[in-house]
A and B are shown apart, each in its own frame.
Chain A
Amino acid sequence: MDKAKRRSLKVLGATLGASAFAYAMAPLREFTKDLTIDQFLQKHYKELTKADLAALVERLERETKQAYGKEVHIQDFRPMENVEFGYALNLSVCIGCRKCAEACHFENNHDRATNNSYIRVLEMEQGSFDLEKGNAHYDHAVPAPGKYYMPVQCQQCDNAPCVKVCPVQATWKEKDGIVVVDYNWCIGCRYCEAACPYHARRFNWTKPEVPTDEINPNQGLLSNRIRPQGVVEKCTFCLHRTRQGQLPACLEACPTGARVFGNMLDPKSEIRWVLEHKRVFILKEELGTRPRFFYFFDS
C-alpha cells in the first residue's frame, strides 16, 4: 500500500472519529440552556451520600425560590421501622364529593390549570364493576341515584408493573410499601404510565404553575416538592405527612370517613381491623399486582 493511500485512510479515520466524538458530545453544547452542571451531574437518589443529599435539597430549595418566589422546606423523609402502610376505602359511604382529590391537589402542589390530582373519582353504576365505564367527569349533585363512587389512586402494588418497566430504575418500592419516583432521575419516557393498570401516574407536560401563596412549603424530596417539567409523578400516600405519623391529606379531607389508613404491621391498627373484619377486595386482582389499597362495602 502506498504512503498516500495510507495517509488518506488515516485522515478519513480521524475525520470520522472526530465527527462521531463531536456528535456524541452534542448534548453538552445545549446543556446550559435549561440544565445546570449540578443537574447534569445529579446522581440517583439511592447513590446520594448525606452530603450530596444536603446539597441537592439546598439546590432544590434555591431553585424553587427562584422559580416560584417561595421559601420552601424540603426534607428527605425515610420509611419508619416496623411500618408498612395500608389504605382501605369504604365504597358504601363514599359520596363522590371529590374533596379527597381537591385536598391532594393543594397538598401536593399540583398544577392549578389542569386541576391535577393523584385521585380520580369514578362514578359507577350500582351493580356494575366495569372500571372502563366509570365516569370521572361527572358534574352534578352527588350522590346521584343509582350510582356509587370509587376513588382510584396509586394502589402501591407490591408487584408493581410501573417499577418493572422503568428503563432507568427511577421508580422503586420503599420498605414501608410506598412506590416513589426520583424526579431527578426520571427521563419522562412514560412507560410506567402505560404499564399502570390503575391509571395512577401523571406526566408533567408543562412546568407546574402554582400561585406563590398557595404553595405548600412542607415538602418531601420524593413526594410533594414541585416537580420539574417532563417527569412522571404519582401518589405517595403523602409520605411527607405519613412518615411523620400524620394521616394523608385525602383522608383528612374526607367528610364521610370512607378512608382508613394505618400500619398493617400493627395488629391494633384501624387498617388491620378492616382487613380482618370487612370483606375487602382489590382492583384488578387477576393482574397479580398485589395492591396495598383495599376497597370494601358495608355489609
Chain B
Amino acid sequence: MLSVASHRFVAVVTLASSAAWVAACGRDEPLTFAPAPSASASGPVVIHDPPKLTSIETGKLDSHGRELRVACTTCHGVRDAGAPFPEQAADLREFHNGLVVDHGALGCQSCHVAFGGGEPRLRLADGTTVATRDAMSLCAQCHGKKHSDYKRGVHGGMSGYWDLSRGPRLRNHCVDCHDPHVPKYQPSRPVLPPRDRGPVAPREANHG
C-alpha cells in the first residue's frame, strides 16, 4: 500500500516536472483565440447623408477653402409654390440652367414635386412624397434588385466593422456614387499603376 502511494507520488512529481520543462521550453503552450463575435450586440449601421440631397454646389470655395454649397431651402424656401414645374431639364430658364439629365425617360416631375417653403420633397410613384434624405425608397421603385442587394450589404461602398458587435458601419447612400440626374458611374483614371521590376511593357506589345 505504502509502495503504491510512493509510486504514485513519484509519477505525479515526474509528470509535474516534465510539464514544467515543456512549459519552460515554450512548447505545448496552445495558441489562444480572440473572443468570438457577440451575437446579441448590434452596432449601428449608419447610411451616409449626402450633401447633394439638401444643397447644391456653387463651384466656389469658402474662406476655409472648402466647397461652398447652398442649401436648397435658401431659394426654394421662399419661392412661390404655385410656379409651374418644368417638364424637362431643357425647359429650365431661371435656375439650374444647363442641368444635364440622362436617366432613362424620366422628366423633372417623375421625382420632383412642386413645393412652397420648408424642405424640398420627392414624389413616389403612388403620389406620396418623401424627404430628399429618403431618396433611396424612390430609387428602389425601379431598381429593386439593386436595392435588395443594398439591403443585404452587397451593393455600395462601406467602411467600419464587419462585426457589428465591435463597432459601427457607415454605408454610402445611392446618390453618393450615382448622380440622380446622370446615374451612370462615370469613367475615371485608375490609380497606382504597378511598377514591376524591369521595363514594363503591355502584353499586347510583347506578343503582338
> What residues of chain A have their CB less than 8 Å away from a CB belonging to chain B?
43, 46-50, 52, 77-83, 88, 90, 93, 95-99, 101-102, 105, 113-115, 117, 120-121, 133, 135-144, 175, 205, 242-247, 251-252, 254-257, 260-263, 266, 269-270, 273-274, 277-278, 298
Contacts and interface: CB of A to CB of B under 8 A. Distances in A.
Given A90-B154, A254-B157, A273-B154, A117 B190 contact: no
Interface residues of B, number: 48
A257 B157 contact: yes
Interface of B: 23, 26-27, 29, 31-37, 145, 149, 152-163, 165-167, 169, 172, 177, 185, 187-197, 200-204
B contact patch SS: loop
B194 A263 contact: no
B187 A115 contact: no
B157 A79 contact: no
A131 B34 CA distance: 37
A269 B169 CA distance: 14
A175 B33 contact: yes
11 contacts: A43-B26, A49-B29, A78-B32, A115-B192, A121-B190, A135-B204, A246-B160, A256-B185, A257-B157, A257-B172, A273-B154
Contacts of B187: 95, 141-144
Contacts of A261: 162
B190 A98 contact: yes
Given A78-B31, A135-B204, A245 B197 contact: no
Given A255-B177, A260-B153, A52 B26 contact: yes
B34 A77 contact: yes
A20 B165 CA distance: 61
A266 B162 CA distance: 11
Given A90-B155, A115-B194, 18 more contacts: A46-B31, A78-B32, A78-B33, A82-B37, A95-B187, A97-B188, A105-B192, A117-B194, A135-B202, A139-B190, A141-B188, A243-B34, A244-B166, A245-B37, A245-B166, A246-B166, A257-B158, A257-B172
Given A142-B187, A263-B162, A205 B36 contact: no
B26 A137 contact: no
Contacts, number: 154
A82 B29 CA distance: 21
Given A120-B194, A270-B154, A83 B37 contact: yes
Contacts of A115: 192-195
Nearest to B203: A135
Nearest to A105: B192
Contact of B192 (A43, A95, A117, A140): A117
Nearest to A269: B162
A247 B190 contact: no
B189 A141 contact: yes
Contacts of B165: 245
Contact of A114 (B34, B197, B203): B197
Contacts of A50: 29
A50 to B, nearest CB: 8
A210 to B, nearest CB: 15
Centre residue among B23, B149, B159, B197 by max chain A CB count within 10 A: B149
B157 A48 contact: no
A257 B155 contact: yes
A22 B167 CA distance: 59
A127 B177 CA distance: 27
B161 to A, nearest CB: 5
Contact of A262 (B155, B162, B172): B162
Contacts of B33: 78-81, 175
A96 B185 CA distance: 12
Contacts of A205: 197
A117 B149 CA distance: 29
Given A246-B162, A255-B177, A81 B35 contact: yes
A251 B158 contact: yes
A228 to B, nearest CB: 18
Contacts of A246: 160-162, 166-167
Contact of A245 (B163, B193, B194): B163
A265 to B, nearest CB: 9
